[in-house]
Structure formats: C-alpha cells, structure tokens
Structure 1
C-alpha cells in the first residue's frame, strides 16, 4: 500500500516543476535487472539510457526541474533533478533501496530520497500490524513518522525548491494513510456478515457466481490490466495458488477493466497464463459487488468462508507473509 501512495504522490508533484536545464547521469549497477534505465519526469518526460560497452549507464539530457523517477525494468526510485546536476549512482540491484548512493552535484537531495525510501519500507513492514491497532495508537505512529520525516527534510541544507515540493508530500502522505486506516476500519464492518454476490463472465466461458463456490474458501483479487501494483502481485498470487492447489479454497480474480478493454483483459489472462477463476465485472467500478465492499482503489483482496460469510474484507496481499499465515490457519 505504501508504494502505491508513494507513486501517486510522485506523479501529483510532477506538476510543480517549472525551470528547465541539463543534467548528467551516470550509474554503475551491479546485478542489473535490465540493460536499459528509463527516467520519467514532468510533462510526460521519458528518457532511456542503455548500458554502454563498459557496463555503465551514462547520459546527458535536458530536464524540467522537479521530481523524477528512474526505473530499471523491475524496481523504481525517485530522483530530484535540476539544471547542472551531475549525479553518479552506485548500487547493487539485488539490494535495490539499501545500496543506492549518489555522489556529485545534486547528491544531497537524491540521497535524502533514497534514505526516505528505506525508512518508508521499514514503516510499511509495521503498517499491517498498526492497521489493527486503536485509532489513537495509529495516529501517534503517523505523527511520529511525519515529525521524523520533516526533521530530516528541513535544516539539512537541501535545495529550497526541493524542500518546498517535498514538504507537502509528507503532509499529504500522513492524510492518505489515515484515510486508508479509516477505509480499513469501515471494511471490517462487513466481516462475519453474508458477502454480496456476483455473477460475472468467466474467461473460460459462461458465467460464474459466488454461490457456485459454496463449500470452499474464496480468495478474491480485485484488479485491472492497467494497474501496476496489481500486476506486481501476480507472481506472488501464482505461488500462493500453487501452495494451496487441491485444498479447500478457490482463487478468483475479478477485473474492473472498462468494457473497451475487454479484449485486452482476455489477451492478458491468456498471455500471462493467469490461474484460478478469471472473471470480468459487469459494470467495472459500478458493479454491485465492487460497491458493496466500498472498493475505490486496487488491488484489493477479500477472503470469504465456505458458507459465504466475509472472513476478511481487506485481506493480506499475496506478497505478504500474513496471507499464508492466515490461510494455513483456515484451509485444510
């Protein structure tokens, strides 16, 4: 969840960028995931840097000052680029966030961003447990995080424009996490009640309704082909499906793609060899099942018991160890 919020805030803040300029970017990456780095930035900026014969990534290019993002084909990290920056990055892709170190002009802001990603990762590891706590405890944890983040941002000689852009992000992050807590609390109210039903098109043909799956636990993944975080969960979901193959559970994926992307959904399911029961919601976000669970962001996971009652209305993700722990306690 934290990474989704992080990226949302990143793209929102692209709009604050104004000044243009030129930067030089050099990266030496051990165990690289790709032979190309891609820099994304304001005004739909996209710049690809291929690895050279020396095994490094090196390029000079024009930018609009502001927050950017570099992607190595598997993982991403934030950048702050301004005119005249001359950044040299060293890292090991096997320990992506942990090993990012910048040298050169612009290093302060970018090392701050790298360290912020690490502290966010630590907080994310605690988040699952915090979401189960009383609201007072959760708010206290958010306030501490916000205070710590602001202290590291201010008074450390960072570029004033950078501080001006990033401070509202920290404040907004706290607001969004509290909203997420409240959504989780609201979702819990459906737990123990009879789940809303669905009757959706099955990728294999015909239609499938929830009642067809009575007698088994049902783990539901609400997703869409355009959703990056949803796609990132697919390899983990496949492993969970394999672990519980033949046991008392069905895995159902419900796409909320719009009608015009119906063929895209069909092709995606086939090309990616998605398992489980693949369904297409009848009215995307306005489908009755989606509205019944108050789903307004994806991916979203739901666990229903063999009698059709909700066990978890906002269940752990496939990538979370908490999911296996939960399923091991229920599924035989």
Structure 2
C-alpha cells in the first residue's frame, strides 16, 4: 500500500518556520541486510540534504542540519520512509532492509513521533486495493470517515509534538482525498471490463512494431511501466517467475514502457541488461499515448488482462507479486 499511495504519503504540509540560524538533528541507523553503504535524508522536494556513509562500526551516524521542524524522507538507495525532524532530536534507527517497513524501530529523542509514522505505513498496508475497490460508495464513505476520526482522536489524546500533530492532521486529510481519488478512478476502470480492449501499435525491443491485434487468439497480460518507477522495477522479479511458470501456455506477456522519448535508449539498455522476457514495447507518447489514456491509467505499474477475443477481462489486474494472479491464470489456462 505504501507504493500505491506514494503521492499521499509524501505530500507534506510545510507551513512552519522558526527563524533559527541552525537546526541540528543527530541521526544514527543500524541496518541489517543494508542495500548500500550510503543513506540519504531528503526534504519534501526530494532534495538530498544529507548523505551519511557507513562507518567502521557498520553504523550510519552523523548530524543533520535542517531548515525547520518538518517532515523529511529517509532513503536507503532502494526504499524510503517518512521522518519527522526537529532541532535537538537525537534519533536512533534499527531495521532490517529485507523487512523494511515492518522492522523499523526508533529510540531516543524524537522516537515517539517517528515510530508513529512507521506504524502508520503498516496500517495503510492493510487497506489493500482489492479491499478498497470491493466497497460500495456507502461502505467507502463510512470507512474513510471512521479512519479519519480514529486517527485524529488518537493524535488529540497523544503527547506527541504539537507541530507534528498539526502537520499530521493535514496529511490525514490529504491521504483521505488520495484514497477517494483512487477509489473513483478504480470504479471507473472496472466499467472497462468486458469491453473490447483499445489497440496499440508500438516499437518492439526486438525490432519492428507490434499491434495488439497480432496477439489475438492468446490471453494477453500487459504491464504498463517505466524505468524510473521503483514499484514497477520491484515487480520485475515476480513477473519473470510468472512468465517462467506459464511458458508454453496460451498467454503472451507484454510490457509497455511509458518512458519519455528521450529515454528510449535508456529503456533499450535496461531491457537488455535485465534480460527482460516477454514482448517489450515502447509507447509512442508516454502518458499521452492513446492506449494509456483510453484505459484511464494515471499510476503505474498497471496490469491489464485481455482474453483471446480481444476483450478486457480485468482492466486493473492483480500484480505479479500477488498470489491471486496465479490462481486466475490457473483457472484460465489449465
């Protein structure tokens, strides 16, 4: 869920400034199975304000100068999480990068606010896209109202930093708006099911162009992605395993990149370097490609399942990382 609502989780209400010449935070991280030897603290514009290198004791430790008490981002080179930083905080983080969100624990001055943020991510993960879209409008309204009331009531009764509480309340409201937008878009996408799939005619990595019509007679599982998209790249190992399992079956795996035209060579190199399988295509006009717009795609990765007659089975199909996808394929292909 963290990936799904990235646009809400990283939307901060930065309206507080205190005019101090320097605001210093002490930050330390012990990371098992770390993804690299450098971690980054970023501001809410994704600008790196501090790079911290691993020391000879296998600990990331340094002082971080911040502009003001606010929300920031911790990035380990692969994944991210929110931080609330304030002058005088002395935060110690312990985690396992292989269990990124689930393992985060903070101690020290500033731990309470940041542990709250870490736990919030786990709670958000319980609101799966499937559960969300299965709700009718009244159920969705009740769910979001209850969610907002519960979270705000907790914050009001907590002893957390007052500035943190004020900012977080604004973030909760923006998160609810993000859920509403996703819900509305998902319901609109559901209406595409059983309709004839919009066509495409895109450059194939192996040469020439490929049209959707050329794949009739097969089930088609389409991955709309981009090389810059972290969640998209995260699905690649799962997709490769699914492709291997159903090799020789009556299904075509198609990946359509919506990278911008200037990154065409970057896409070609990425596909070659990662030895991506299936049919690798490059959309003609990134987000503005007709196929993308006709399917109402506003976020990626997005997966579409089409039947042998060219009709859409699911315009927002399960991801390769979802065990449910293989259950769907087994019913269709066996």
TM-score range, shorter chain: over 0.9
Match of 1:311 among 290, 310, 313: 313
Aligned partners of 2:141, 2:243: CA distance in 1, in Å? 36
Which residues in structure 2 correspond to 1:245-284 (within 5 Å)? 245-284=247-286
Q: Distance in 1 between matches of 2:153 and 2:299?
A: 31
- CA displacement at 1:90 relative to structure 2: 2.3
List runs of 5+ in structure 2 lacking aligned partners.
none
CA distance in 1, matches of 2:57, 2:262: 46
| Partner residue, 2:190 | 188
Secondary structure of the residue aligned to 1:53 is coil
Equivalent residue number for residue 329 of structure 1: 331
- Asked whether 1:93 is paired with 2:97, we answer yes
Question: For 1:158-197, what per-residue CA distance to the aligned partner results, in whole angstroms no more than 9, with x for missing partners?
Answer: 1122122221111111121122111111111121111111
Shift of 1:252: 0.6
Q: Deviations over 1:106-140 (max 9, x none)?
A: 1121111111112112233xx41331232222222
Q: Which residue of 1 aligns with 2:12?
A: 13
- 1:18 to 1:149, Cα distance in 2 relative to 1, 3 A: same
Q: Structure 2 CA distance, aligned partners of 1:17 and 1:72?
A: 27
1:102 aligned onto 2:143? no
Contact 2:2 2:9 in 1 (8 A): no
| 1:209 CA displacement | 0.4
Once the two structures are TM-superposed, the CA of residue 14 in structure 1 deviates from its matched residue by 6.7
Shift of 1:248: 1.1
The alignment's C-alpha RMSD in Å is 1.9
User: Do the aligned partners of residues 46 and 250 (structure 1) sit closer, same or farther apart at CA in structure 2, a change above 3 Å counting?
Assistant: farther
Give the alignment's TM-score, normalised by structure 1: 0.92
Give 1:15 shift: 4.6
Paired position in structure 1 for 2:151: 149
Q: 1:235 aligns with which of 234, 237, 241?
A: 237
Q: Given the superposition, is the C-alpha separation of residues 33 and 225 from structure 1 closer, same or farther in structure 2, using an over 3 Å criterion?
A: closer
| Cα separation, 2, equivalents of 1:236 and 1:325 | 15
Q: 1:37 aligns with which of 33, 36, 39?
A: 39
* TM-score between both structures, scaled by the size of structure 2: 0.92
Aligned to 1:70: 74
8 A contact 2:13–2:170 mirrored in 1: no
Q: Using the TM superposition, name which of 79-88 and 234-243 deviates more.
A: 234-243
Per-residue deviation, residues 8-32 of structure 1 (Å, max 9, x unmatched): 2344317546455111011223333
Residue 220 (structure 1) aligned with residue 222 (structure 2): yes
Counterpart for residue 59 of structure 1: 62
2: CA distance between counterparts of 1:62 and 1:53?
23
Q: Secondary structure at the match of 1:3?
A: coil
SS at match of 1:260: helix
Provide the aligned length of Structure 1 versus Structure 2.
329
Q: Distance in 2 between matches of 1:151 and 1:267?
A: 51
Whether 1:3 and 2:8 are equivalent positions in the alignment is: no
Q: Shift of the alpha carbon at 1:272? A: 1.8
Q: How far apart, CA to CA, are the structure 1 residues paired with 2:102 and 2:304?
A: 32
